[in-house]
Amino acid sequence: MARKYFGTDGIRGRVGVHPINAEFMLKLGWATGRVLGNGAATRVVIGKDTRISGYMFESALEAGLSAAGVDIRLLGPMPTPSIAYLTRTMHACAGIVISASHNPHHDNGIKFFSAQGTKLPAEVEAAIEAELENPMVTVSSEKLGKAERVEDARGRYIEFCKSTIPSRISLRGLKIVIDCANGATYQVAPSVLEEMGADVIGIGVEPNGLNINEECGSTMPELLCERVLKEGADLGIALDGDGDRVIMVDHKGELVDGDELLFIIAASRKENEQLAGPVVGTLMSNLGLEHALHQLNIEFRRARVGDRYVMEMLNEHGGVVGGESSGHIICLDRTSTGDGMVSALQVLATMIQKNVGLHELKQGMKKYPQCMINIPLVRHLDVNNSEPIQSAVRRAETHLNGTGRVLLRSSGTEPLIRVMVEGEDETLVRQQAKLLAEIVEHTVTGHAESA
């Protein structure tokens, strides 16, 4: 379904550039209220990350919703997954998140959650876009929506996070460094760990509106690796700006990425007889994850890149655990969306229950060397229907001889073709990736010249 504003994860862009401006957000709040409120007395909750533009967009959305006759509950700076949780528990008709996730401060965006704490269906997004085309009409004064701040939102979410692992589990004796990316988790994440008894060292916990994701967080974990070693900590946790992704670091300062965390969680669920359906990764998930899960007799399926597609496949096949290499992990047996803090707690609980460190836990999965080369795409090219490219793919697969895989895909956000090869032999992987990339680049250039 073609949509004008909504992408795979809400509406996102540069602050001040349409549609990420105050005028559009006013109309978006009104259109959302018209579609989801449906003329009845109802409420919408709004949360945000720590970007300076969040104040502006919060006010604009609040005004638009009020004009549509919808009550508003303001949560303040809170992680994206907490808005999903509070939308459900407060019986709101929708939740709105003002965030651009792991992007820098000059970007922002809007994400929506349904009353069930899940992403809005495509048909609802289409209905909101259709309403945006209509003139904005304000309800009569006695029907205007009222806005209130939810003072205990942080405490509610902290208790929820703790409830996702057995109450008998304590983190006493663990020294944990947590990097909150100067983002939405800067208050709640350290509090969760401290209340569970851990010795917590916080970094990226001093947001100023401009430093969100700046050389910190899950997309830049080098600082966390260094701090874990310096402090002699047992492990580190890195979240992104809105708190739905997590990457961890073991006591040796080695990264534990989303694939490895997904393996740890899935293996623990299997051992405790709590795993239902297949584990779902993406086309980019490391081949080592697939092999490690198969060794445990756990079915593994690959979805398109994007947590929306992971969620769809989990629901389709009755799965409860899925995720991406980036650290966006979904535990549907605990919550309704990807949640970095909840995912980290599942790993910590496994460490405590098995009485082993994070470094030991990740040994059950051997990551395969992976090489990715991006080829600029001048004109549209369907790699699946290009015989030179497909012949090159078959040659690469022959050289890998069943010890790896080849993936070509168009980027969903940039004009690029991503060439990815992975396998057991790193030298062979890099060699085949380079050869294949050369063929793709030559074909792209030739296509452009002949077009």
What is the tens place of the pLDDT at every residue in 174-212? 999 999 999 999 999 999 999 999 999 999 999 999 999
Q: What is the largest CA-CA distance in the chain?
A: 73
In this structure, how many other beta carbons lie within 10 angstroms of the beta carbon of residue 107? Answer: 21
Residue 62 has pLDDT above 70, yes or no: yes
Hey, what amino acid is at 99? S
Full-model pTM = 0.92
* Short-list 116, 73, 97, CA closest to 11: 97
Check if the beta carbon of residue 211 is closer than 8 Å to that of residue 182: yes
Tell me which of 53, 82, 99, 101 is the catalytic residue. 101
Q: Does the fold of domain 157-364 match that of domain 11-151?
A: yes
Superfamily of domain 370-450: Alpha-D-phosphohexomutase, C-terminal domain (3.30.310.50)
Can you give the C-alpha Rg of the chain in angstroms? 23
Residue 247 has pLDDT above 60, yes or no: yes
Please tell me the distance from the alpha carbon of residue 302 to that of residue 287, in angstroms, as a whole number: 11
Sign (positive/negative) of CA torsion 214, 342, 157, 72?
positive
Annotation marks residue 101 as catalytic: yes
pLDDT at 35: 94
Task: Say yes or no: domain 11-151 is CATH 3.40.120.10.
Answer: yes
Residue 134 has pLDDT above 90, yes or no: yes
- Listed by start position, the domains of the chain span 11-151, 157-364, 370-450
Residue 155 has pLDDT above 90, yes or no: yes
- Tokens found for residue 260: 């490895």
Superfamily of domain 157-364: Alpha-D-Glucose-1,6-Bisphosphate, subunit A, domain 3 (3.40.120.10)
